[in-house]
Amino acid sequence: MSNRTHPPLRPASAGRAGGRSAQSPPPSAAAAPRRRARRGPRGERLAPYVLVAPAILIIVALRLWPLGLGVNFSFTGDGERNGAPVGFDNYADLFGDPLFRTALRNVGLLVLLLPIAVAIPGLLATFIYLRVPGHRFFRSVYFFPAVLSPVIVGAIFNLLLAFDGPLNALLAKVGLGPVDWLGDPGIAMFAVVGVHIWATFGMALVVFLAGFATLDGALLDAARVDGASLGQVIWHVIVPGLSRTIQFVFVTTMIGMLTSMFGLLYVMTSGGPEGSTYLPEYYIWIQQGQFNRPALASAASTVLFMIMLVVGLLQLSLLRRAVKES
Amino acid sequence: MSHARLTRWLLALPMGLLALATIYPLLFTGNVAMKTRREYVLDRFSVADAVRFDNVTGAWSSVGMGRYFLNSVIVVTAAVVLLLLLGSMAGFALSQIRFRGSSVLFLGCLAALFVPFQVIMVPLARVMADTGLIDTYAGLVLAYVAQFLPFTVFLMTSYYRTVAPEIIDAARIDGNTLYGVYRRIMLPIGAPALLSVGILNALFCWNDVLIALLMMPSAEHRTLMVGVTALRGQYSADIPTFAAGVLIAAAPVLLLYLFLQRQIADGVTAGATKG
């Protein structure tokens, strides 16, 4: 990605360093540096590898190797057929399982809600950037839930969204009936996603604000002098100017929805009611941890990985086209 | 001009309400944690009639939150120290030293950045079980290091790219080996980035529940977040104790946020702007 932006590096510094100390030791070199210089060339040439080795070994052994292992698992059997090749049986099981289909449908729901999850922090960042009274205060308050664990957030909202909890009490005051936020299969998923957005919009907000810092202020002033309304300023100046940031927030928000809602689901609904709040990551956990079906879980993992790749690529290309047109 | 000012004030109103909605859940939980059970059952919204820490001390000692807290501190500290050490070593080599294979290794780290934990959790659990690391502190620490190392290497590499090569050249002329340069120059220069990345990693590890659930199945090894999820089942009738447990788990993060909000936000945006 940003690999091409390597600053012009010193040519083969390790090799050069070895050569230099061998040919002409610095005049001040006393006994100690000379000893180092003698041992130098090979030790120095190996040094970069020694420095990266621990990190690379861990990443390969515990991230990249398991990825291959998992894809491999997904084509073997569980239980009695443990380890035996079974072709695509796990994938057939997977798509035949109503729970997994619910999980996929919920992913679709997340995609539909994505624009809202991006627009809210985007708008709020715009207002903060335009120096609404109290913008500093708003900034630090809004960012705050983003640092809390999903477990904490879920636990708190378990209390707030309880059938006899504060939210329903508030609704009762304005004459609206109690809603079974986490107990109604038609509502629970929306409630969990809503809480997820509440908990994470501060993260996107901060990213947006960093994007605003790169925006040309003169452009905004010019638009305002020309009498553009707030809506026009947002649509014609801010959105095109921040296209890179918006792209980034879209992708990271979607990835966040697909990979960091486990804590909320685990604490708030445990996948219920009636399995209505399953997401692929929760399905993987249940199949691995509760039903002891690692191969099936691996198949679900592989599908999740595919979804994430497709979503990422699709969004990038869509947004790139939209930006070109405008 | 005054029209624009009016718009700004009108915008501040809903933003203020939203700020209230952001803070209220935590205030509510704090209030509940100070109530007696009876007080809570009678009226959930009344302000606690005294500042009382019985529930907090109860959750700390009798429910085992103290033990879980200690587990979390041990694991998070070890993981963050390792992450910063390995991340800065690799970041230095990948940014400032040209050697055969460096760009392939950097791309490998980037690729790992896009492999979410959910995708590798099943095979990883098996690898950990095969090597006897499952349900050990070392196993969980390694799992955290593996999870957050690509991100750490990436950020440290981009930070160290901004260091002028002349500084390193000067240190080499003074007779430093590359290891000496790392220890005497790169570590101190990297301090601000290490602080940001360290705080972020500490938050990630502290807040995690999925990796801890998978790697530390036994009850005495629970981290704090796993402890909170267990608390929910055991104390569903004793909401004030539950709320107190939630507060204990959130307290370190609250403190961190109060004092280091800037560094946290910087860390988050560093990933975005350098990507």
What average pLDDT does this structure show over B133-162?
93
Strand ranges inside chain B, DSSP E: none
Contact B175 A152 (CB under 8 A): no
Contact B127 A165 (CB under 8 A): no
Instruction: Give the pLDDT score at A218.
Output: 83
Contact A48 B97 (CB under 8 A): yes
- ∠ CA B232-B235-B239, nearest 5°, is 90
What is the distance between the terminal CA atoms of chain A, rounded to a whole angstrom?
Answer: 25
Phi, psi torsion values for A82, nearest 5 degrees? -50, 120
Tell me the domain boundaries of chain A. 94-325
| B150 vs A187: CA distance, rounded Å | 38
Nearest residue to A57 (alpha-carbon basis) of B105, B215, B113:
B105
| A178 vs A196: CA distance, rounded Å | 22
pLDDT grade for B202, boundaries at 50, 70 and 90 = very high
Instruction: Give the pLDDT score at B2.
Output: 63
| A165 vs A182: CA distance, rounded Å | 12
The torsion region of residue B135 among left (phi > 0), alpha (psi -120 to 50) and beta comes to left
The answer to whether B102 contacts chain A (CB < 8 Å) is: yes
Q: Does residue A277 sit in helix, strand or coil?
A: coil
CATH fold for domain B75-221+263-274 = MetI-like fold (1.10.3720)
Contact A267 B232 (CB under 8 A): yes
Contact A59 B253 (CB under 8 A): no
Instruction: Give the pLDDT score at A319.
Output: 63
Q: Select the residue of B97, B146, B253 nearest A14 (Cβ to Cβ).
A: B97
Name residue, tokens 């944690």.
B33
Return residues 120-159 of B near A (CB < 8 Å).
120-127, 142-143, 145-147, 149-150, 153, 158
| B153 vs B112: CA distance, rounded Å | 11
Amino acid identity for residue B251 in this structure: A
The answer to whether B182 contacts chain A (CB < 8 Å) is: yes
Q: A18: nearest CA in chain B? A: B177
Name residue, tokens 């593996």.
B146
Instruction: Give the pLDDT score at A326.
Output: 57
Instruction: Give the pLDDT score at A188.
Output: 93
Measured between beta carbons, which residues in chain B are less than 8 angstroms from residue A52?
A: 89-90, 93-94, 102, 105
Query: pLDDT at residue B169 above 80?
Result: yes
Return residues 52-81 of B near A (CB < 8 Å).
none
Chain centroid to Cα B228, Å, comes to 17
Interface A-B: count of C-beta contacts within 8 A: 303
pLDDT in tens, chain A (326 residues): 333 333 333 333 333 333 333 444 444 434 444 444 444 566 778 889 999 999 999 999 999 999 999 998 889 888 777 777 888 888 998 999 999 999 999 999 998 999 999 999 999 999 898 888 888 899 889 988 989 999 999 999 988 898 888 888 888 888 887 888 888 888 999 999 999 999 999 989 999 998 888 888 888 888 878 888 888 888 888 888 888 888 888 888 888 888 889 999 999 998 878 889 999 999 999 998 888 888 999 999 999 999 888 877 776 676 666 666 55
> In angstroms, what separates the C-alpha of A306 from chain B's closest C-alpha?
10
The answer to whether B8 contacts chain A (CB < 8 Å) is: yes
Which burial class, exposed, middle or buried, applies to A100 when counting CB atoms under 10 A from its CB (0-12, 13-18, 19+)? Answer: buried
The answer to whether B230 contacts chain A (CB < 8 Å) is: no
Instruction: Give the pLDDT score at A315.
Output: 66
What average pLDDT does this structure show over B23-33?
89
Instruction: Give the pLDDT score at A323.
Output: 61
| A233 vs B239: CA distance, rounded Å | 49
- Per-chain mean pLDDT for chain B: 88
What is the distance between the terminal CA atoms of chain B, rounded to a whole angstrom?
Answer: 39
| A124 vs A132: CA distance, rounded Å | 10
Q: Select the residue of B98, B121, B174 nearest A13 (Cβ to Cβ).
A: B98
Q: A283: nearest CA in chain B? A: B118
Q: A250: nearest CA in chain B? A: B272
Instruction: Give the pLDDT score at A324.
Output: 64
Q: B183: nearest CA in chain A? A: A51
The CATH label, of 3.30.300.30, 1.10.275.10, 1.10.3720.10, 3.60.21.10, for the domain at A94-325 is 1.10.3720.10
ipTM: 0.89
Angle, helix A13-23 to helix A31-59, in steps of 10 degrees: 160
> In angstroms, what separates the C-alpha of A91 from chain B's closest C-alpha?
15
Measured between beta carbons, which residues in chain B are less than 8 angstroms from residue A178?
A: none
What average pLDDT does this structure show over B198-227?
91
> In angstroms, what separates the C-alpha of A54 from chain B's closest C-alpha?
7
Tell me the domain boundaries of chain B. 75-221+263-274
Chain centroid to Cα B55, Å, comes to 26
Contact A289 B214 (CB under 8 A): yes
Instruction: Give the pLDDT score at B104.
Output: 92
Query: pLDDT at residue B17 above 50?
Result: yes
Phi, psi torsion values for A77, nearest 5 degrees? -95, 165
What average pLDDT does this structure show over B233-253?
86
Q: H or E element: which one contains B107?
A: helix B102-113
Query: pLDDT at residue B225 above 70?
Result: yes
pLDDT grade for B271, boundaries at 50, 70 and 90 = low
Query: pLDDT at residue B232 above 80?
Result: no
Contact A36 B165 (CB under 8 A): no
Instruction: Give the pLDDT score at A41.
Output: 60
Contact B177 A63 (CB under 8 A): no
The answer to whether B218 contacts chain A (CB < 8 Å) is: no
Contact B232 A13 (CB under 8 A): no
The answer to whether B111 contacts chain A (CB < 8 Å) is: yes
Tell me the C-alpha to C-alpha distance, in Å, between residue A309 and each of A305, B50, B85, B115, B251.
6, 54, 31, 10, 37
